[in-house]
Structure 1
Amino acid sequence: MAKQKQDEGQAPKLTINDIARMADVSKKTVSRVINRSPLLNRETRDKVEAIIRETGYVPNPQARALALGRNFLIGLVYDNPNAQMILSMQRGILEALHGTEFELVIRPVDRGSNLVMDDIRGFVTRQRLFGVVLLPPMSENDALARMLDEQGCRYVRMGSAVLDDPEHMVASNDKEAVADAVRYLIAQGHRRIGLIAGPHGFRSAQERREGFEQALAEAGISLPRSLIADGQYTFESGLSASESLFDLTPRPTAIFASNDEMAAGVLYAARMRGIAVPEELSIIGFDDTPLTTRVWPPLSTVRWPIVAMGRAAALKLIGTAIGEGSEVNEPSMFSSTLIRRASVAPPAIS
């Protein structure tokens, strides 16, 4: 009886409808404020936030998740050997989710498995995800995108070329950026330029190779097959691939490696061979990871705006999740740019 009287004396718990009424705005507007949507003007946001503070209103995430049929979780799905790329993408996503009710869930997969689609379907279903960010090469799988759409799971695909509609895509201009990097080597006087390509089946590897070949063709420079070595986006594969290039006679005066890990492998192999960088060999990588400034000489590289791309991907999902995806003004195309450091110089003999 005492507990019943105490309950009767308590003020009813505030709801989102109460906050909307006090602020003289719609329930949807209050939801936007709670979810930190970028679509509100400052005056409206400040008014609603002030009422939330004054009343001590606390949103009920369980109730909201139940009503929407989803949890406040963003999944990151990947099968990628580049650990630094994964970490940078996580950083960008977490920056976007900071201050919201959303959390990040990581899911590595094996793209070579016959069960990969079932694995991802089960992940989405069990976690009741708000949305998924797909990293390459998984993002390049059109069947996976269709499956997510059929499951009612929002998704954004990251890639080195446009793969989908803007609301489902963040892409970079890898081909053009690599062509610019190789043009820089050519302008320095290099004519015998080696390529360490990325893994087969990766669209990024294809785009970067096409950019490399485009720059050489523009300059009228032939590209013997012997100057192309296959890599796997790992330090070890860069080391192995560079050894085959160094065995050529004459050997290349410059090498473009399709990511920084492999470029670092080239630098290491050159030191082991007594090949001076940049005096006897120029090197350019791709990504602009912290590694490039922690080796000597610091590596020239193409800066890939991976953190910004991750941030944009997450914001696209959050906007879509609250019914405003088509209005979220996040870019879908990002420009990679050449960063010139001490690993490039004119060849000793032009």
Structure 2
Amino acid sequence: MVSNRRVTQLDIARLAGVSQATVSLVLNGTEYALARIPQETRERVQRIIRETRYVPDPIARRMAKGSNRILGVFTYEPAFPSAQADFFLPFLFGIEEEAQARGYDLLLLTGVGQGAQRKIFAEESRLRIADGCIVLGRAFDRDELQRLVAGDYPFVAIGRREDAGAPVPFVGADYATATGQLVQQARALGHTRLAYLGPTDTAESTADRWRGFRAALETDLRMALHMTDTAGTDAALMDAVLQSGATAVFCVELADAMRLEAAARARDLRLPQHLSVMALGSHLRAESSRTRFASFHIPREEMGRQATAMLVRRIEGGTGEPVQQALLPCEPIAGDTLGPAPR
């Protein structure tokens, strides 16, 4: 009846002697719409569908319904190089798991440009291939974020974001509370002179850590050292800490905590007997370290899952879906590097 090529709705219509619109109604129409088609016509169309073994084109059906069931994922930094894989991969695991559970495919959007120059929007933006997009990155382009907020394209950011002309939908981690809890743990162990190593305002995530640290400082706690730039040798970094008299060090970056640990070993000093060192957030690279740093667990996979669920709600709920923002708690990691303050 029909050649070996894929059978189409037009083929079914020609064989049944009806219009393609009638075939589409038989396949996809509501009960009310089907009632307008004579029963004999419906049965003839259905018989030819069976005989030709017609299989609907899923892409065409999605386009007819105005949905591709595809979620975009955009990262401002490359997601897979070894230097950053341990940052992005847990998010991607959670995103993939939730998308699959909800019947959506994923599309990785890399935008245009290289590295820090990546842009979501280009002259020929491909955002609309996906029904909505999850946006990841340590720092966002503020102009692009404002454009996303002002538009009608569904998106959700991973990580807390300041308003960009209007509230930004996001799922983040409560870094401020987790950092403050670490400070209180150190205080309970007798530490009164603290050092803080790392940036304070390069992105919301670093600003939140700094805010939590400052809020936890009480009258008997003193910030003996604050270094936003930790460039230099490991020995120079350790010299600065020791000369300040700090007994507990809070490191925004795990790399700085590992540098202090290496410098301590080189001087025959031990953590935490001579110095307590904390990393402000879990990191996959910590698993390969010989030292288990006192820290807190960042729920990256759960952030990915909840961001995906939030995005699907925004897609399926339409413009009436309210903007949601969620901060997930960070569980403490006891580690081996926080102990009583040395006398």
Q: Same fold (TM over 0.5)?
A: yes
Mapped partners of 2:253, 2:158: distance in 1: 17
Secondary structure at 1:249 match in 2: helix
Q: Which AA in structure 1 matches 2:159?
A: G
Cα distance per residue 1:65-123 (max 9 Å; x no partner): 4652767241222238754221121112111112423213042766864xx5xx32128
Given candidates 306, 314, 318, the residue that maps to 2:312 is: 318
Corresponding residue for residue 90 of structure 1: 92
Corresponding residue for residue 208 of structure 1: 209
| TM-score, normalised with respect to structure 2 | 0.72
Cα distance per residue 1:143-200 (max 9 Å; x no partner): 3223224553221123346647777121322112101111111111112221112375
Corresponding residue for residue 147 of structure 2: 147
Q: Structure 1 residues 2 and 324 mapped into 2: Cα distance closer, same or farther (>3 Å)?
A: closer
Q: What pairs with 1:205-284 in structure 2 (closer than 5 Å)? A: 205-216=206-217, 218-224=218-224, 226-231=225-230, 240=233, 243-247=236-240, 248-249=242-243, 251-284=245-278
Partners of 1:196 and 1:256 within 8 A in 2: yes
Q: Structure 1 residues 271 and 212 mapped into 2: Cα distance closer, same or farther (>3 Å)?
A: same
Given candidates 100, 103, 107, the residue that maps to 1:104 is: 107
Cα distance per residue 1:285-323 (max 9 Å; x no partner): 133233334423311111111211111111111222223
Alignment gaps of 5+ in structure 1: 25-54, 232-236
Corresponding residue for residue 19 of structure 2: none
Secondary structure at 1:89 match in 2: helix
Corresponding residue for residue 50 of structure 2: none
Pairwise CA distance, 1:284: 1.3
Mapped partners of 2:86, 2:28: distance in 1: 44
Partners of 2:170 and 2:324 within 8 A in 1: no
Q: Structure 1 residues 69 and 313 mapped into 2: Cα distance closer, same or farther (>3 Å)?
A: same
Q: What pairs with 1:25-104 in structure 2 (closer than 5 Å)? A: 60-65=58-63, 67-68=65-66, 72-79=70-77, 82-99=84-101, 100-104=103-107
Greater Cα offset, 182-191 or 104-113: 104-113
Pairs aligned (count): 304
Partners of 1:72 and 1:101 within 8 A in 2: yes
Partners of 2:152 and 2:319 within 8 A in 1: no
Q: Which AA in structure 1 matches 2:125?
A: T
Corresponding residue for residue 157 of structure 2: 157
Mapped partners of 2:210, 2:258: distance in 1: 19
Pairwise CA distance, 1:251: 4.3
Q: Which AA in structure 2 matches 1:157?
A: A
Given candidates 14, 17, 29, the residue that maps to 2:28 is: 17
Corresponding residue for residue 336 of structure 1: 330
Secondary structure at 1:223 match in 2: strand
Corresponding residue for residue 175 of structure 2: 174
- Quote the sequence identity (%): 19
Corresponding residue for residue 281 of structure 2: 287
Cα distance per residue 1:241-276 (max 9 Å; x no partner): 774243442543221111434323332332233321
| TM-score, normalised with respect to structure 1 | 0.71
CA RMSD of aligned residues (A): 4.0
Given candidates 294, 299, 308, the residue that maps to 1:305 is: 299
Mapped partners of 2:173, 2:250: distance in 1: 18
Partners of 2:72 and 2:107 within 8 A in 1: yes
Mapped partners of 1:124, 1:240: distance in 2: 46
Mapped partners of 1:183, 1:102: distance in 2: 44
Partners of 2:169 and 2:324 within 8 A in 1: no
Q: Which AA in structure 1 matches 2:110?
A: R
For the pair shown, the structure with the greater C-alpha radius of gyration is 2
Q: Which AA in structure 1 matches 2:193?
A: R
Partners of 1:175 and 1:211 within 8 A in 2: yes
Greater Cα offset, 100-109 or 268-277: 100-109
Mapped partners of 1:90, 1:324: distance in 2: 25
Alignment gaps of 5+ in structure 2: 4-10, 17-22, 35-52
Cα distance per residue 1:39-75 (max 9 Å; x no partner): xxxxxxxxxxxxxxxx997671344146527672412
